[in-house]
Amino acid sequence: MLERKEYQKYVEDNSPKSPMTRTLFAAFVVGGIICCIGEGIGDIIKLIFEDMPEKEVAIWESCIMIFLGSFLTAIGVYDRLGRFAGGGSIIPITGFANSVTSPAIEYNREGVFFGICAKMFVIAGPIIVFSVAASFLVGLIGYFCV
Partner 1 sequence: MEIFLTYLKVFAVGGLVCMLGQILINKTKMSSARILVLYMLLGVVLEVCGAFDYIKEFAGSGITIPITGFGSNVAKGALEGAKADGFLGAVAGGLRSVSAGLTVAIVCGFVFGLISRSRSKKM
| C-alpha count within 13 angstroms, C-beta hemisphere, residue 37 | 17
Residues 6+ apart with CB under 8 A from 109: 115
92 near partner 1 (CB under 8 A): yes
Annotate 53-67 with b (16+ C-beta within 10 A) or e (fewer). Answer: eeeebeebbbebbbe
Determine the interface stretch with partner 1 among 4-12, 45-53, 111-119 (rule: CB under 8 A): 111-119
78 near partner 1 (CB under 8 A): no
108 near partner 1 (CB under 8 A): yes
Within 119-138, the residues that bind partner 1 by CB under 8 A are: 120, 122-124, 126-128, 130-132, 134-136, 138
C-beta of 88: minimal distance to partner 1 in Å?
4
97 near partner 1 (CB under 8 A): yes
Query: Considering only residues 11, 14, 53, 109, which one is a binding residue for partner 1 as defined by CB under 8 A?
Result: 109
Could you give phi then psi for residue 22, rounded to 5 degrees? -65, -45
118 near partner 1 (CB under 8 A): no
